[in-house]
Chains A and B, each alone.
Chain A
Amino acid sequence: MSRGNPGRVPGSDLGLNKWAMCPERFAMQRRVFTRLVSVVFGATALGVVHAADEAPDAMVKRISTEVLDAVKADAAIQAGDVGRITALVDSKIMPNVNFGRMTASAVGRFWRQATPEQQKRLQDEFKTLLVRTYSGALGEVKDQTLSFKPLRAKPEDTEVVVRSEVRGRGEPIQLDYRLEKTAGGWKIYDLNVLGVWLVETYRSQFAQEINTKGLDGLIASLAQRNKSSGKS
């Protein structure tokens, strides 16, 4: 997308062909025009896609704060109401997660063998599994605070790790995120709790299932697990 480099706008070449007979003037006009376009475009881009400029750690901090506040303010969520939690996840968390990449990477080399239909079902069931897993823990959210470690990344990095700790009673809980830079801002694609990466753990869970029962077998197992723990 041209958003990344507003100084070079494709139209600035095409629209000025009528000046071609006067090369010097053309060059000057073109410079002025390009600068004007870049200023206008840059200003617009700044307003519209400020999310794309947000630093990855700032983004994780913002989302976590929003989610924690929402959880603290909602008794139904704290009681583990899966419907309410799913709504919160969909509105606050999912827009900042590349869940397609997460699922694909957890399914590993089998992902390419899956039909689009199977891929969609895998994503849906995997998401439900994670939401149900974490929904039990949300009742524990009380006076915990988050502290973020300084981001160790170069400005040109497109993949970074944001490290944080949940501090409350007892020992701090390590919570890290892997993020990738996309046109629509930074997106989370992996999560580390207490030194354990989520995608890596599920990759071996899934592989084990696929090796014995195939892709459809994995989907069935996930669906079964999500159904059987429906009590809440």
Chain B
Amino acid sequence: MKPWLVDVSVLRRCVSGCLVAGVLALSGCATGPHANPKDPIEPFNRGVQQFNDSVDEAFLKPVATFYRDVTPDLVRTGVNNVFSNLRDLWSSVNAALQLRPREATENFLRFSVNTFWGIGGLLDIASEMQIERTTLDFGQTLGRWGVPSGPYLVLPFMGPSTVRDALGMGVESSGDLLSGMNHVPTRNSLYALRIVEARANLLRAGALLDQAALDKYSFTRDAYLQRRESQIRALTGKDDNEDDDE
């Protein structure tokens, strides 16, 4: 456990040092009197979100809508299952890193069952067998061991994140099973399919957000930060029962 902790503190220094400095250099640190302390680079983030929205509006959303409309439900479920199955393996690794043997075992069991009995993950037999899925990512693992989230960060193409979660994503993409594929066109097609599938799953959420938010940017930010905080609070075993009502 000791070497891991040392690693984390090094990571932490690296995160707050390099990344923040880099991002700050890209944007003016302009903040109004009512700025959110968790979002010191709001003008920059708003710019990126605007960019993401226009990419989404012009390209990703139409493609995802088309994909949703023409693909039979059965096929979509299969595609979803295959990607979720890969996810389960990674969740299992994260559970192990978080010293949560039950979730590590369950997720690994899910992956094995679905890979071998579910034809490479096409069928979700594990869910039929009621083996629970706990999705965990590397950003949560970092949070579990005390790495602070750092400033809110909107990533180009990827959307809402924080400095810590962006770092987690970087580590994850190198551990991604797809990245190990040798045949590049196949690999890239699978990347694209994964993105389109993920976006198609969010079509309804997007419509909901358009209605719910007065300012889509700050709504997304606040919801994202709150959700991540509550996930990590659950991991560290701290109760979120406290009432922050006025």
Contact = CB atoms under 8 A, between A and B. Distances in A.
A211 interface: yes
Nearest to B77: A169
Nearest to B244: A200
B214 A136 contact: no
B133 interface: yes
Contacts of B243: 159, 178
Interface stretch (A11-19, A53-61, A65-73, A201-209): A201-209
A97 interface: no
Given A136-B204, A207-B34, A222 B214 contact: yes
Interface string B203-241: 010011011111100110011001111110000000001
A133 B207 CA distance: 9
A136 B246 CA distance: 30
B246 A194 contact: no
Contacts of A93: none
A99 interface: no
B181 to A, nearest CB: 26
Contacts of B36: 204
A118 to B, nearest CB: 17
Contacts of A109: 246
A108 interface: yes
A211 B36 CA distance: 13
A149 to B, nearest CB: 12
A73 B62 CA distance: 33
B214 A221 contact: yes
B227 A108 contact: no
A194 B226 CA distance: 9
A136 B215 CA distance: 19
Contacts of B133: 171
Contacts of A197: 226
B218 A204 contact: yes
B135 interface: yes
Nearest to A226: B211
B219 A201 contact: yes
Given A194-B227, A196-B223, A208 B204 contact: no
Most chain B beta-carbon neighbours within 10 Å: one of A140, A152, A204: A204
A229 B211 contact: yes
B245 interface: yes
Interface string A200-232: 110011111101000000000110010001000
B211 A195 contact: no
B78 to A, nearest CB: 13
Nearest to B209: A133
Contacts of A170: 80
Interface in A78-109: 105, 108-109
Given A195-B231, A196-B223, A205 B34 contact: no
A187 interface: no
A208 B215 contact: yes
A200 B208 contact: no
Nearest to A161: B241
A196 B214 contact: no
B246 A201 contact: no
Nearest to A102: B245
A205 B215 contact: yes
Most chain A beta-carbon neighbours within 10 Å: one of B212, B226, B241: B212
Contacts of B34: 207-208, 211
B226 A205 contact: no
Contacts of B230: 195-196
Nearest to A224: B214
Interface string A172-208: 0000001000000000011000111101110011111
Contacts of A152: 241
A137 interface: yes
Given A195-B229, A196-B227, A208-B214, 15 more contacts: A105-B246, A133-B208, A136-B207, A136-B208, A170-B80, A171-B135, A178-B245, A195-B226, A195-B228, A196-B230, A201-B219, A201-B222, A201-B223, A205-B222, A208-B215
